[in-house]
Amino acid sequence: MFKSIRNAKIVAVFAVVGALVLPTTPASAAPVEITLSCFNDLNMGNLLKEWETVNPNIKVKLKTADFNAHHDGLLTQLIAGQGPDIACMEVGYTSRFKAYPQLFTNLGKTFKANTLEKSFINWRWEQGVARDGTIIGIPTDVGGLAMCYRQDLLKKAGLPNERKAVSDATSTQAKLTAFAEKYVAATGKPFLDNVSQLFEGVSRQGADGVQFYDKKTDKIVEVPQVKKAYDLAATFVSKKLSAEIAPWSSDWNQGMGNGAFAAMLCPSWLLANIQNNAKDIPGAWDVAQMPGGGANWGGSQLTIPKFAANPKQAWTFISWVLAPEQQLKLFLDKGVLPTTPAVYKDKKFLAAKDIAYNNAPIGKIFSDVVMSIKKPIYEGKYQVSVKDAYNAAVGRMASGKQTPAASWAQLMKEIKKIKSLS
């Protein structure tokens, strides 16, 4: 921990020295450079290029780190009283930062961000607002959940492969299981990529918006939907319906292109990833409804830390890049799902058909999912730790290391430990 504080101090010293040595240039001509720190470019590469011509006086410098390292490092930085001009954060982690609103610029008070609230999806906006009402982040994208499948492989297996037919044939958990069994029987190959994604997706379908946290009390709870998701995962494991390839592994990436599995849950932010890995087989993937109904999963916020050197310029950039026009461009470019529903009615949005997905109207499919969500999942301070524990339990069970019951018992012990944290 002291290492990063030390680095920060060294940087600070250099900054002071630099300021003393460098001759001061006239303020009007000097472009300001602001830093945007994130876990990837949020697919905004082309927008960042465009921004250079839109506002040459504010240069945006993107700094990226690995997903967990970015979020963990950001907290350390903020505690040490440092911070980039703009920090992005994924919703699961946002819940952690929302517990410390004092570390962020209140975008409502400082920049009147509340006037924008109406143009965003209501619940998605709230994910960037702390319990005390501080607006810490503006949502960049929304993760509607669907199921991606290899239409070519299903056809070969003699199964229905049309969007509507697949959606109907897998509309419930029981039907999904039967469908997967048929595929495995016909081909001898696994149907799904892994059960940890399946668990995460299904556990988010609770009708009351509760997965791990209760919104009213802000406490960790256990609900039947999560156990149901766990049991479904166990069924998939025992019937060998899943390839058990770990998400984000190199095998997973390759599997999207080489037919190691025929289906995977795809939150909208995963589309660009599948597209990249399946470049050699355009049109092989297609998109069906999420079995058991839509749910929200993921998405990110842009925030301005309290210690940002150039908060005004940061806000100028954020309000541009997250305006509906830019969100539309981002969708047409990379399939990132906008957080401003006005875009969903745009002709270009509705007409967008993705060749990579067998010309599926992905805008229509995913926006329908998002608009159908009535009670989105609420996420709390230790969301990440709780999620890690559940994921590990599913993993232990899936690898055959433990029986489903033993793994669940160990999980409950770990959850109890997390509950004891303040």
Min dist. Cβ of residue 418 to other proteins (A): 8
Identify whether the C-beta of residue 251 lies closer than 8 Å to the C-beta of residue 194: no
Interaction between residue 422 and other proteins (CB under 8 A): yes
b (16+ CB within 10 A) / e for 7-44 = ebeeeeeeeeeeeeeeeeeeeeeeebebbbbbbeebbb
By C-alpha distance, which of 246, 238, 266, 222 is closest to 395? Answer: 246
Interaction between residue 396 and other proteins (CB under 8 A): yes
Instruction: Please tell me the distance from the alpha carbon of residue 236 to that of residue 233, in angstroms, as a whole number.
Output: 5
Interaction between residue 384 and other proteins (CB under 8 A): yes
Compare residues 75 and 350 and give the one whose CB is closer to other proteins. Answer: 75
Please, where are the H alpha helices in 138-260?
151-156, 163-169, 173-187, 195-203, 224-238, 250-258
Instruction: Please tell me the distance from the alpha carbon of residue 411 to that of residue 418, in angstroms, as a whole number.
Output: 11
Mode of pairing for the β-strands spanning 213-214 and 137-139: unpaired
Interaction between residue 382 and other proteins (CB under 8 A): yes
Among 121, 138, 245, 362, binds other proteins (CB under 8 A): 245
Interaction between residue 214 and other proteins (CB under 8 A): no
Q: Which stretch binds other proteins (CB under 8 A): 12-20, 155-163, 230-238, 243-251?
A: 243-251
Interaction between residue 8 and other proteins (CB under 8 A): no
Compare residues 1 and 22 and give the one whose CB is closer to other proteins. Answer: 1
Interaction between residue 152 and other proteins (CB under 8 A): no
Q: What separation in angstroms does the CA of 402 have from each of 192, 385, 394? A: 21, 21, 10
Binding mask 72-91 for other proteins (x = CB under 8 A): x--xx--x------------
Total number of residues that touch other proteins (CB under 8 A): 34
Instruction: Please tell me the distance from the alpha carbon of residue 224 to that of residue 222, in angstroms, as a whole number.
Output: 7
Q: Which stretch binds other proteins (CB under 8 A): 20-28, 99-107, 212-220, 367-375?
A: 99-107
CA 273 to chain centre: 12
Among 68, 238, 276, 403, binds other proteins (CB under 8 A): 68
Question: Could you give the angle at which helices 311-321 and 45-54 cross, rounded to 10 degrees?
Answer: 120
Tokens standing for 327? Answer: 């969100």
Instruction: Please tell me the distance from the alpha carbon of residue 90 to that of residue 39, in angstroms, as a whole number.
Output: 9
Interaction between residue 191 and other proteins (CB under 8 A): no
Min dist. Cβ of residue 6 to other proteins (A): 5
Among 46, 57, 249, 359, binds other proteins (CB under 8 A): 249
Q: Which stretch binds other proteins (CB under 8 A): 51-59, 127-135, 177-185, 414-422?
A: 414-422
Q: Interaction with other proteins in 290-319: which residues (CB under 8 A)?
A: none
Q: Which residues bind other proteins (CB under 8 A)?
A: 1-2, 6, 68, 72, 75-76, 79, 100, 102-103, 243, 245, 249-251, 254-255, 260, 382, 384-385, 388, 391-393, 395-396, 399, 401-402, 418, 421-422
